A and B are shown apart, each in its own frame.
Chain A
Amino acid sequence: MDKAVIETIRLNLYYGDFLALEEVNIRIHRHRITAIIGPSGCGKSTLLRCFNRMNDLVESTKVEGQILIEGEDILSDKMDLISLRKKVGMVFQRPNVFNLSIYDNLRFGLRIHRMMSEKKKIDEAVQNALEHVGLWDELKDRLKKNARTLSLEQQQRLCIARVIILKPDIVLLDEPCSTLDPVSTLKIEELLRILKRDYTIVIVTHNMQQAARVSDETAFMHLGKLIEFAGTAEIFSNPKEKLTENYISGRFG
């Protein structure tokens, strides 16, 4: 078996007194798309947000156990959150482009991380990132336009480009297609399949068909616990746990 890129060991997470994640042990593999599914409130987004410590932003959060990213304990006090979030990028439910030009949206992270200053290099990186997400041909002549003038699908692609321009190892996506129409959704899914050659992708989705279509491995969570984690074909054709079967076949949730 491949070495895990992300590994959690007996991970517990509390919001105040509420136990949101309970004894989660998961190993996420390199260059795969891993989907996390489960009913609302099951902890799937919470788990995703653990992988780049976004939960730190939520007050009274307490985490127990270990989260290793490429073997490094990211819960350690020594962990530099800025570099962690560069390494583990995140795309959210709604495209959150900045009220800036397309070009400046992409340059933003490069500046924060002081990755490059030479204009030629930045231009190259911008082109590269836009090509990667399939936007270059459409947008190359209007990079100075405000990013908010783009369609939602283009905005979401731009958000993905904004993550990958920083050369992360891992891309986390929290319901990235929930505001998109079916065709845009399929296009984003196609993009994810291309991106997995270079990145490890973890996607939280409410849309089970999306998980079935796009992911290589699927994790099913319920009430804060990881119930089943297996190959996507296995989960959707012959899940081992009754709870998984009941959820994916619409008996609850």
Chain B
Amino acid sequence: MIRERFANHIKKLENELAEMTALVASAINRSMEALKSRNIADAKQIIEDDAIINQKRQLIEDNCIYLIATQQPVAGDLREIIAILNIITDLERMGDYAEGIAKIVVLLGKEPLVKPLDYIPKMAELAVSMLNRSIESFLKRDAKAAGAICNEDDAVDALYDKTYQELIDCMIEDPSTIKKATYLIWAAHNLERIADRTTNICERIVFLVTGSMQTINVSKY
């Protein structure tokens, strides 16, 4: 087949993308575990490991540039490569958000939290599930599934609202909690951003399949 070489390159790119997604999902999960268990050593490791995600992004970008330069892809092939270039930007930033949560774990140190984490682990669980399924729908070219994932962002936003309100209440009640409560708001905010970036990925999938860019669900934040 005349396109075998090109098809192999694309397959390789898709595998790299799946690997990068796994790294990012793992960073989010590990940062949440570190927050729950207040494990500073693990948090520091997550911060260090963010470099691996960044390297992966660079590798994929280099491969995309190579394919564009040498194969002159058009139509669906071109849209896929452009979609991948955009998706890795979102993934890389999600990795930074996970790293941000790990940094908060370090900042919080060993002191007790102002209140239980409550909805925060649930936000992480929803966000990671959205992320994993978004890349699955990318690999399957399933625009319908991708569109549906976008709507799940509302649930993450709702949990963020609750967390935010509760932490504000804590601060009003006892201003000495402001610093530590703010850290938790940041952590929750990072998770909200992760879910929101996933909707960007899903919009790219719709673009890849249909050729038109649509904003499917506008986040509250």
Verify A251–B3 contact, CB threshold 8 A: yes
Query: Which residues of chain B (74-101) have a CB below 8 Å from chain A?
Result: 74-79
Verify A237–B2 contact, CB threshold 8 A: no
Q: Which of B2, B78, B212 makes the CB contact (< 8 A) with A250?
A: B2
Of A208, A237, A249, the most chain B CB neighbours within 10 A belong to: A249
Q: Which of B3, B6, B72, B74 makes the CB contact (< 8 A) with A237?
A: B74
Q: List residues of chain B with CB within 8 A of the CB of A212.
A: 74
CA distance A237 to B78 in the complex (A): 7
Contact A249-B77, Cβ < 8 Å, known A209-B72, A237-B211:
yes
Q: Which residue of A lies closest to B78 (CB)?
A: A237
Q: Which residue of A lies closest to B77 (CB)?
A: A249
Q: List residues of chain A with CB within 8 A of the CB of B77.
A: 249
CA distance A209 to B73 in the complex (A): 10
Q: How far in angstroms is the closest Cβ of chain B from A210?
A: 11
**A209-253 toward B: CB 8 Å interface, digit per residue (1/0)?**
100100000000000000000000000111100001100111110
Q: List residues of chain A with CB within 8 A of the CB of B2.
A: 250-252
Q: How far in angstroms is the closest Cβ of chain B from A241?
A: 10
Verify A238–B72 contact, CB threshold 8 A: no
Verify A238–B73 contact, CB threshold 8 A: no
Number of A-B residue pairs with CB-CB distance less than 8 Å in the complex they form: 33
Q: How far in angstroms is the closest Cβ of chain B from A249?
A: 5
Interface size class of A (residues with CB under 8 A): 10 to 19
Q: List residues of chain B with CB within 8 A of the CB of A249.
A: 3, 73-77
Verify B6–A250 contact, CB threshold 8 A: yes
CA distance A212 to B74 in the complex (A): 10
CA distance A238 to B75 in the complex (A): 5
Q: List residues of chain A with CB within 8 A of the CB of B76.
A: 245, 249
Q: How far in angstroms is the closest Cβ of chain A from B147?
A: 18
Q: How far in angstroms is the closest Cβ of chain A from B78?
A: 6
Query: Which residues of chain B (184-221) have a CB below 8 Å from chain A?
Result: 211-212
Of B73, B74, B76, B211, the most chain A CB neighbours within 10 A belong to: B74
Verify B74–A248 contact, CB threshold 8 A: yes
Q: How far in angstroms is the closest Cβ of chain A from B86?
A: 15
CA distance A239 to B211 in the complex (A): 9
Q: Which residue of B lies closest to A245 (CB)?
A: B75
Q: List residues of chain B with CB within 8 A of the CB of A244.
A: 75
Contact A250-B3, Cβ < 8 Å, known A237-B211, A238-B211:
yes
Verify B79–A238 contact, CB threshold 8 A: yes
Q: How far in angstroms is the closest Cβ of chain A from B77?
A: 5
Q: Which residue of B lies closest to A236 (CB)?
A: B74
Q: Which of B74, B211, B212 makes the CB contact (< 8 A) with A208?
A: B74
CA distance A208 to B72 in the complex (A): 10
Q: List residues of chain B with CB within 8 A of the CB of A239.
A: 75
**B56-79 toward A: CB 8 Å interface, digit per residue (1/0)?**
000000000000000011111111
Q: Which residue of A lies closest to B2 (CB)?
A: A250
Q: How far in angstroms is the closest Cβ of chain A from B11?
A: 15
CA distance A158 to B78 in the complex (A): 37
Q: How far in angstroms is the closest Cβ of chain A from B7?
A: 10
Q: How far in angstroms is the closest Cβ of chain A from B221?
A: 32
CA distance A168 to B147 in the complex (A): 53
Q: How far in angstroms is the closest Cβ of chain B from A23?
A: 25
Q: Which residue of A lies closest to B211 (CB)?
A: A238
Q: How far in angstroms is the closest Cβ of chain A from B94?
A: 28
CA distance A72 to B62 in the complex (A): 55
Q: List residues of chain A with CB within 8 A of the CB of B72.
A: 209
**B1-20 toward A: CB 8 Å interface, digit per residue (1/0)?**
01100100000000000000
9 inter-chain pairs at a CB distance below 8 angstroms, sorted by A residue, are A237-B74, A245-B76, A249-B73, A249-B74, A249-B75, A249-B76, A249-B77, A250-B2, A250-B6
Extra pairs beyond A209-B72, A237-B211 (16, CB < 8 Å) = A208-B74, A212-B74, A236-B74, A236-B78, A237-B74, A237-B75, A237-B78, A238-B211, A238-B212, A239-B75, A245-B76, A249-B73, A250-B3, A251-B2, A251-B3, A252-B2
| Partner-A contacts on B (CB < 8 A) | 2-3, 6, 72-79, 211-212
